[in-house]
Amino acid sequence: MRVDLLADPVDGVDEVLAVIAGADRALAGGLSRPQAAQAAGLVALAEAVVASPLGAEVAEAAEKAAAGAAGEEHFVSLATARIALFGAVHDAVLARIEQATGRGRADSGVVLPSGGGQAENLLLAARSWLADLARAGWRGIDHDLVSGAEPVISALLPEPRLRRLAALLDGFAAELAASCPGSALERIPMRRWGDLWSRALLLTLPGATGTATGTVTGRLLPLGVDLHEHATAAQAQVHAVFEPADGGVPRLVRASVSAPKPDTNIGAGIWQLLRPHLSLLAAVSEGRSMDLTDMPITAEGDLVWADEHAKPGEPADPFVTARVVLPTASAFPTAPLDRHPARIAVPVFLEGYSAGQGGEIFTVAGQSVAVDTDRVPVAGPLTPEAVAGSNACIGLVRWDAGVFRVQPLAVETTVRKKTVALHAGAWAGGAVDKAGVKAEKAATDAATVLRERAGRLLRK
């Protein structure tokens, strides 16, 4: 791992981000009547993709939008251009990380989603709300506009096939609702809301979420658990190395489980919610490998977990996996629509560093890299203090706002001359330590109340 390569800016990225920032300022002001400076931002966006197959379409969209005359199809084109530019940023950032880790991507071609097909009414309803949002702009949002998303989200959520869009819109709309009225906002998360808006719009296109899957058989060695959550959804993502039974090259894979949740289900309650649907979480807590037989997998290395294709295997220490197998593993390529730097999470192993600034920085051979301890879930034994006192770390390299950061998944510390491992996801499959048991108890009580109330009141 060459930490020094993560210290320098990635060439060309600043220029692309400047173009995106211009488009985002136009979105903040709203596209119903953009001012000259905002219109210029849209034109610059179109110029940035002029040589691509999107060129003509985006130029027309920018022209219409600049005149305040854009329709839904034009908004889709602008969103597509923004996502395409981030695709280029993704590739540049990932190439730098691959240089730093010395790890390559296996060259299996990604199968493109087929696209096309009939747009469902629900997707059209979502698109229509997103178009209204773009016309109003972030400074123009109010409660009436934002609450317009609610019936759409309620209708999308029960359908697992449409869950990507549903979970995204749900989290996005909650942020917008808490930020109303937009005219009173002191600051706006421009990049973020631009990302969420453009991505949601693209997900309303029929076929956008279709993924081709194959199957794999072999041994799965977990590295650690990454958690994602907003008020009403959570996802646990296990990063692991997969060793094919046929003796092929080990691969970096992920297994995920997600569910919508009430906003009061937090902390250990999230593990309780997700645990029954992914037997791998128990294996992680027990420090075991799992043996997979014909497990479905997408072309970008996401296992589509089904418990019947997995059984518990031998004990496997993630730090042994990180030291011995991780360096030999290769990654899957990213699906075209997922090429965005926020999606980058590359497993790495670091040791021989000194941790400074309360665990916010690791310094290796005079070179420093930022450490993102804020992403470590609250419901687990890993803490920023433990990171600050650690001497080895399994982490995910991420990139945001121009900076590379390592998100710790697990660390080794020395307690009374003995090495102790602390894992962020140690409670995922069930907590056994005292603090964990207490957290589980509180979460069980909260879940019991909500289930009782739901059982009594929902079907009246």
Partner 1 sequence: MSDWESASTARVLAPARPRKLAKVPFVELADGRLQGVVSSGSDIERVYVSSVAAGTYEFACSTNNNRPCGGARGSFCNHIFALITEAVLQYGVERVARYLRVDAADLDAQAVHSLMLGERPAQADSAAAAQVFSRFLRHLAYVELPATTAVLPELQWFPPTRVVV
Residue placing its CB nearer to partner 1 in the complex, 56 or 449: 449
Given a contact cutoff of 8 angstroms between Cβ atoms, the answer to whether 17 and 89 are in contact is yes
Compute φ and ψ for 407, nearest 5 degrees: -95, 115
Token pair, residue 114, equals: 């087929």
For partner 1, the closer of residues 420 and 454 by Cβ is: 454
Q: What ranges in 204-339 are assigned the alpha helix state H?
A: 268-274, 279-286, 318-320
Which residue lies nearer to partner 1 by CB, 210 or 287?
A: 210
Q: How far is CA 216 from CA 42, 133, 176, 252, 262, in A?
A: 45, 43, 41, 13, 35
Question: Least distance (Å) from partner 1 to the CB of residue 143?
Answer: 7
> Which is closer to partner 1, CB of 187 or CB of 434?
187
Q: How do 390-400 and 213-230 pair as beta strands?
A: unpaired
- Helix, coil or strand: residue 335: coil
Output the smallest distance, CB 210 to partner 1, in A.
11
Closer CB to partner 1, 59 or 274, in the complex: 274
C-alpha span between 137 and 144 (Å, rounded) = 14
Q: Which residues pair with 214 in a beta bridge?
A: 297
Identify residue 37 by its one-letter amino acid code: A
Q: What are phi and psi of 149, to 5 degrees?
A: -80, -20
Tell me if 204 sits within 8 A of 127, measured CB to CB. Answer: yes
Measure Cα distances from 380 to 141, 254, 279, 282, 438 in Å.
38, 20, 18, 14, 12
Smaller CB separation from partner 1, 59 or 388: 388
Minimum distance, C-beta of residue 454 to partner 1, in the bound complex (Å): 4
Neighbouring C-beta atoms of residue 292, cutoff 10 Å: 27
Quote the least distance from Cβ 234 to partner 1, whole Å.
Answer: 8
Looking at the Cβ atoms of 50 and 449, the one nearer to partner 1 is 449
**Secondary structure (3-state) at 434:** helix
Q: How far is the CB of 308 from partner 1 (least distance, A)?
A: 12
Which residue's CB is nearer to partner 1, number 160 or number 366?
Answer: 160
